[in-house]
Amino acid sequence: MSSSRFEALVSRLGSRSVFVASFLIRALYGLVFHPPLESLRSDMLAYAARAARLAAEPWVPEPSAVFYPWGTHYLVAAARVASFGHPGPAITLLYAAYGAAAAAYSFASARIVLVGAPRVQFALGILFVAYPTWIALGGFVLSEPPFTACVAASTYYALRLATADRSKGTGLSSLGLGVALAVGTAIRPQMLLSIACFALLCVRRPRPVAPPLRSWAALVAPLLLVVLVSMARMKFHTGEYGFVSKNGALNLAFGRCHAWKISSTKPKESYSPPSLRGLALYEEKHGMKPFPELDPAEGEELVLPGPIWDEDASRALAERCVAETGWWRQVKYSLAHLVLLFAYGVAFPLKGTFLIVVSIVASILLAPAYVAALVRAFARRPIAERVLVAHVLALTVTAAVFFGEVRLRVPYDGVLATLSALYSTRFVAWRRARRTKLEPDAARTDSRATEAA
């Protein structure tokens, strides 16, 4: 098939076909093979329990309810309320829709970034539809599927805004970007770093046409709404104003202390990031030391004197660890976190040989694009690439400050796959141009040799 016909085929299939195919695959997986409500333990149990409690008793204050971000369990609670007594299928279809949206928006972004490469676009579309890690995570009540959809949607709408003719209006794209960023912030506040990185890397000056006021309003209004709801919710549950959640301080303590387990005494609870736990137990399981090693500041298991949601206690612990280790050791912690985005684990709670192999292969294929994106983060490059790199930079800052693991990276795999395809096509084009340039030089050299003979 000629390139023009193939491009027409890809255009005709479009994002809607990707959405439908992705939804059907994920709905079948969730309804038949792995219903989310039948796999409740650890984080999944906590999300499902909070959603059930919210649906049954929405106006009962509970201080522990503000520990996690509220976006995921509010969405699950809404599905429970709308399920007419059958929450299992409703939640399954909701998570299938998250996965389908992530695939469709990722494909739509790839079509903007990879103009003139229809075969590469088509290959990425197949990847997004059938990516085993994304499909498998849709079988659990977790924050990864909805956050992946928000990352993909924000990427697409940011690309639309960055490449649009501003004189023709950008209201719908601004609204789409605002909603994606706002919902993503409620699910995982790290989305705020993506907002900062978009502003840092993607704002172009001077602008040929300034965005109209209504476009700015459409972008900011959803974010402002999430901020106000978050503050009101925190006040309702704790009596104090705050932001989306209180678990940021605990995550900071993990990253700055490198303990693999932190427990509280009142009430007794404990948390353990899978990546740090994996480093701690790696030598015991595999008979060899990992690189990098865990290297805890005060011990592998630490205890907080009060409840796990006490931010002051977690911050004090993190500050004490920083003071004891010094800044160079803290820098080594952050570098170790970046390694953990690609190594020493799979996306929790996935397991099994097939998914482990998929995770390893994905890490190997995506890591070069990740490194290249960081190297080119502040270089002069096309605006579309800058949009993608903004998310990569936000992921990097999040991992460096708190901690890294494959589960944290997976929502950004669509962005990294598109960057990998972009850099690969550029490399192939460079090689072809170089070969074309060398061939005439070689021909001229042979001609001169013949004349001399």
Quick: pLDDT tens for 332-377.
999 999 999 999 889 989 999 999 999 999 999 999 999 999 998 8
Q: Side chain identity at 242, as an amino acid letter?
A: G
Tell me the average pLDDT of the chain. 88
**Distances 306 to 132, 172, 209, 249, 264 between C-alpha atoms, Å:** 40, 47, 54, 14, 6
Other Cβ atoms within 10 Å of 119 Cβ, number: 14
pLDDT reading at 102 higher than 50: yes
pLDDT, average across residues 55-71: 88
Residue 15: band (very low, low, confident or very high) from pLDDT cuts 50, 70, 90: confident
Q: Which of 51, 53, 48, 60 is nearest to 233 (CA)?
A: 60
pLDDT reading at 142 higher than 90: yes
**H helix runs in 239-305, sequence order:** 248-257, 274-286
Read off the pTM. 0.92
Q: What is the pLDDT of residue 209?
A: 47
pLDDT, average across residues 106-135: 94
pLDDT reading at 1 higher than 80: no
pLDDT reading at 5 higher than 90: no
- Rounded distance, CA 219 to CA 160, Å? 13
Q: Where are the domains of the chain?
A: 3-245+326-445
- Rounded distance, CA 285 to CA 278, Å? 9
Beta bridge partners of 301: 261
User: In this predicted model, what pLDDT tens digit does every residue of 282-294 receive, in sequence order?
Assistant: 888 888 888 888 8
Please state, for a pLDDT cut of 90, what percent of the chain lies above it. 61
Q: Which of 147, 199, 183, 112 is nearest to 384 (CA)?
A: 112
- Rounded distance, CA 273 to CA 293, Å? 15
Q: Print burial letters for 173-199: b (CB count within 10 Å at least 16), e (below 16).
A: bbbbbbbbbbbbbbbbbbbbbbbebbe
Beta bridge partners of 112: none
Residue 441: band (very low, low, confident or very high) from pLDDT cuts 50, 70, 90: low
**Distances 227 to 140, 183, 221, 381 between C-alpha atoms, Å:** 27, 11, 10, 33
**Distances 173 to 99, 109, 217, 292 between C-alpha atoms, Å:** 21, 13, 12, 43
Strand ranges inside 114-220, DSSP E: none
Q: What is the pLDDT of residue 258?
A: 93
Residues in contact with 249: Cβ distance below 8 Å, sequence separation at least 6, in sequence order:
311, 312, 314, 315, 318
Sheet strands side by side (includes 268-271)? 268-271, 261-265, 301-304
Task: Calculate helix-pair angle for 3-28, 87-113, nearest 10 degrees.
Answer: 160
- Rounded distance, CA 77 to CA 56, Å? 9
Counting other chains too, the contacts that 253-256 makes at CB distance below 8 Å and 24 or more residues apart are 253/302, 253/314, 253/315, 253/317, 253/318, 253/321, 254/402, 254/403, 255/318, 255/333, 255/334, 255/337, 255/401, 255/402, 255/403, 256/297, 256/318, 256/319, 256/321, 256/322, 256/325, 256/330, 256/333
Q: Which of 300, 319, 311, 312 is nearest to 256 (CA)?
A: 319
User: In this predicted model, what pLDDT tens digit does every residue of 185-216 receive, in sequence order?
Assistant: 999 999 999 999 988 887 654 454 456 778 88
pLDDT, average across residues 10-35: 90
Helix (H) or strand (E) holding 366: helix 353-375
Report the sign of the C-alpha dihedral through residues 266, 190, 121, 145, in that order.
Answer: positive
DSSP assignment of 310-346 equals: -HHHHHHHHHHHHHHH-HHHHHHHHHHHHHHTTSS--
pLDDT reading at 296 higher than 70: yes
Task: Calculate helix-pair angle for 383-401, 144-163, nearest 10 degrees.
Answer: 150
Residues in contact with 321: Cβ distance below 8 Å, sequence separation at least 6, in sequence order:
253, 256, 257, 258, 297, 298
- Rounded distance, CA 440 to CA 379, Å? 33
Cα-to-chain-centroid distance, residue 322? 27
Q: Side chain identity at 10, as an amino acid letter?
A: V
